[in-house]
Amino acid sequence: MKPAPFSYFRVATLGETFDRLEEFGQDARILAGGQSLVPALAMRLSAPEALVDINPIGELRGISVTDRHIRIGALTRHAEVERSAEVARHLPLIAEAIKFVAHPAIRNRGTFGGSIALADPAAELPACACALGARFEIASRTGRRVVAADEFFHGMFETSIEDGDVLVAAEFPRANGNSRSAFAELARRHGDYAIVGLAAQASVERGALIDPQLVFFGIGDRPVAARTAAAGLNGGGVSDASIKAAQDALAADLDPPNDLVGSPEFKLHLARVLMGRVLRQLVADQ
Ligand SMILES: Cc1cc2nc3c(=O)[nH]c(=O)nc-3n(C[C@H](O)[C@H](O)[C@H](O)COP(=O)(O)OP(=O)(O)OC[C@H]3O[C@@H](n4cnc5c(N)ncnc54)[C@H](O)[C@@H]3O)c2cc1C
């Protein structure tokens, strides 16, 4: 199929972006890497009047590191994140997860901010952002605001981004020396969206997990933190018994939907499997 006709605007500044977004209101879409938006247009799942192509805006691109944060600009391509030595050193969870985002050709065009703004519940990066305590910077005509990742995702394809907003960057706190992360997902084929996945981060001190963050994806309408399981693990070590207790706690934390991918029981079973794998990974080098 071909997309419905639309106007195309290539903008050089955020100011121009706001002009176009205001002009077309709900009938405008921001175009970043186009890897999700263009297929949606081609299938006529979306038929906006105007595409606002933000690719020329330099301030939305790049990875920078300060004493306290790592900042990834919204327009930074997945491939650049994947190759970044700074990401590998400071955000190993992202470095690991990004290899599971689609395929190399899509990662060459798709952007970090596009994945966050799209908020597909089965996407890897939103869950990683929640596990790592990221914050998102959003710009609009009236100024800038910052939203914590765990408040940003409202539901399937629903976020704190409102009409007229542009996601500018994601900012991650720098981890301390005891910080460990682990990632696992189950998909039909490598590069497909996950059936179920788990992104985890914790401080590991003498074998004990401190403040573990265990965030599932593909199992709800947004990233889902396994808070009961995490509370039970906090301060203790990883053993067969603690893994079993964390797996059992998932019945309280997760409420998987019954859909074409599988039954709730099937997904809960996969989540238990991933919980075991990820907890062992977290303490693997202790
Ligand atoms: C075959 C295939 C497999 C894929 N598999 C996976 C996968 O396994 N995991 C995964 O996570 N993704 C997957 N994707 C999606 C891919 O990662 C996309 O790159 C990503 O979802 C969107 O990024 P984009 O830059 O292409 O955004 P676009 O397609 O340009 O935009 C997506 C949406 O976000 C909005 N948007 C984009 N940037 C901004 C911004 N800065 N501010 C405000 N709104 C913005 C757009 O208006 C649009 O609504 C797959 C895609 C394909 C085609």
pLDDT tens, position by position, 84-131: 999 999 999 999 999 999 999 999 999 999 999 999 999 999 999 999
**Cα dihedral 63/33/100/238 (nearest 10):** 50
Distance between CA 147 and CA 174 in Å, rounded? 18
pLDDT at 286: 64
Give me the mean pLDDT over the 16-29 stretch: 97
pTM equals: 0.96
Amino acid residing at 266? F
The answer for 235, left when phi > 0, alpha when psi is -120 to 50, beta otherwise, is left
Contact 92, 181 (CB under 8 A): yes
pLDDT at 112: 98
Give me the mean pLDDT over the 130-141 stretch: 98
Structural fold of domain 182-282? Enolase-like; domain 1 (3.30.390)
Count CB atoms within 10 A of the CB of residue 104: 11
> For the chain, where do the domains classified as CATH 3.30.43.10 start and end?
7-53
Give me the mean pLDDT over the 190-219 stretch: 95
* CATH number of the 62-173 domain: 3.30.465.10
Residue range 223-252, pLDDT digits in tens: 999 999 999 999 999 999 999 999 999 999
In short, whether 81's Cβ falls inside 6 Å of ligand 1 is no
Contact 173, 150 (CB under 8 A): no
222: helix, strand or coil:
coil
Maximal CA-CA distance, the chain = 61
pLDDT at 128: 98
**Cα dihedral 58/118/170/62 (nearest 10):** -30
pLDDT-derived band at 285, boundaries 50, 70, 90? confident
The residue whose CA has the least distance to atom 13 of ligand 1 is 102
Structural fold of domain 7-53? 3.30.43
Q: Which atom of ligand 1 is nearest to the CA of 40?
A: 29
In short, whether 121's Cβ falls inside 6 Å of ligand 1 is no
Cα 200 to middle of ligand 1, angstroms: 23
pLDDT-derived band at 75, boundaries 50, 70, 90? very high
pLDDT at 99: 96
**Does residue 1 have a pLDDT over 90?**
no
Q: Cα dist. 80→52, 77, 118, 175 in Å?
A: 23, 5, 19, 21
In short, whether 166's Cβ falls inside 6 Å of ligand 1 is yes
Candidate from 46, 115, 124, 130 with most ligand 1 atoms within 8 A of CB, to mutate: 115
**CA angle, 239 then 273 then 224, to 5°:** 100
Amino acid residing at 122? A
**Does residue 215 have a pLDDT over 80?**
yes
Residue 58 corresponds to which tokens in the numbers above? 């330099």
Cα 249 to middle of ligand 1, angstroms: 33
